[in-house]
């Protein structure tokens, strides 16, 4: 297994090339060691460049729920984007927003963390038209914002 510094060194090489095109690198939590919040942060701390961050996807974070909110707060300074998903502790992995038992708590956690960057919704359902999937998620988000009492966010909705 690569150590944080070894991985950071490899990332530095990639980031140097990406910078030439005006691009940033977002590390994505797609499971395994590299997707663990602490490992993402510890690796980024060792990268010499300032254009590396985290794209955190709750779709791949079911095993991280027990680590929240501490793990989320650890990532906040490095977050480029957060992608929402309906979340139950026991799955399923793909669930529309508003249908998960943890959804309200996750939105409150994000708001309380001070994170103010982009929040995405992924239409990750192969069997359905993505427009329908995204509309379902947006309706779920609206219900969640109502449940959290976030009137400011509802105004922008």
Mean pLDDT score across all residues of the chain: 92
Q: Which residue has the tokens 């192969």?
A: 126
User: Which range of residues forms the domain containing residue 93?
Assistant: 4-156
Tens of pLDDT along 90-123? 878 889 999 999 999 999 999 999 999 999 998 8
Rg (C-alpha) for the chain, rounded Å, is 17
* 156 or 3, which is more confident: 3
* Cis bond upstream, residue 21 (ω within 30): no
Give the pLDDT score at 128: 92
Q: Give percent above pLDDT 70 in the chain.
A: 95
Residue 80 and residue 51 in contact, taking contact as beta carbons nearer than 8 Å: no
Q: Report residue 154's pLDDT band, with 50, 70 and 90 as the boundaries.
A: low
Number of domains making up the chain:
1
- Where is pLDDT greater, at 126 or 13? 13
pLDDT at 6 over 60: yes
**Percent of the chain with pLDDT strictly greater than 90:** 80
Q: CA-to-CA distance for 115 and 82, rounded, in angstroms? A: 9
> 45: domain CATH number?
3.20.20.150
Contacts of 124 (CB under 8 A, 6+ apart): 59, 85, 94, 133
pLDDT tens digits, one per residue of 49-71: 999 999 999 999 999 999 999 99
Given this model, what pLDDT does residue 147 score? 86
């Amino acid at each position: 297994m690569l150590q944080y510094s070894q991985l950071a060194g490899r990332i530095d090489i990639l980031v140097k090339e990406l910078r030439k095109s005006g691009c940033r690198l977002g590390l994505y939590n797609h499971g395994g060691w590299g997707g663990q919040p602490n490992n993402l942060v510890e690796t980024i701390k060792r990268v010499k460049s300032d254009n590396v961050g985290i794209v955190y996807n709750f779709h791949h974070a079911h095993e991280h729920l027990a680590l929240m909110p501490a793990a989320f707060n650890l990532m906040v300074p490095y977050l480029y984007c957060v992608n929402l998903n309906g979340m139950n502790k026991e799955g399923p992995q793909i669930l529309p927003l508003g249908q998960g038992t943890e959804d309200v708590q996750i939105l409150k956690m994000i708001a309380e963390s001070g994170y103010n960057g982009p929040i995405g919704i992924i239409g990750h359902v192969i069997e359905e038209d993505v427009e329908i999937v995204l509309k379902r998620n947006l309706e779920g988000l609206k219900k969640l914002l109502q449940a959290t009492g976030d009137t400011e966010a509802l105004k922008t909705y």
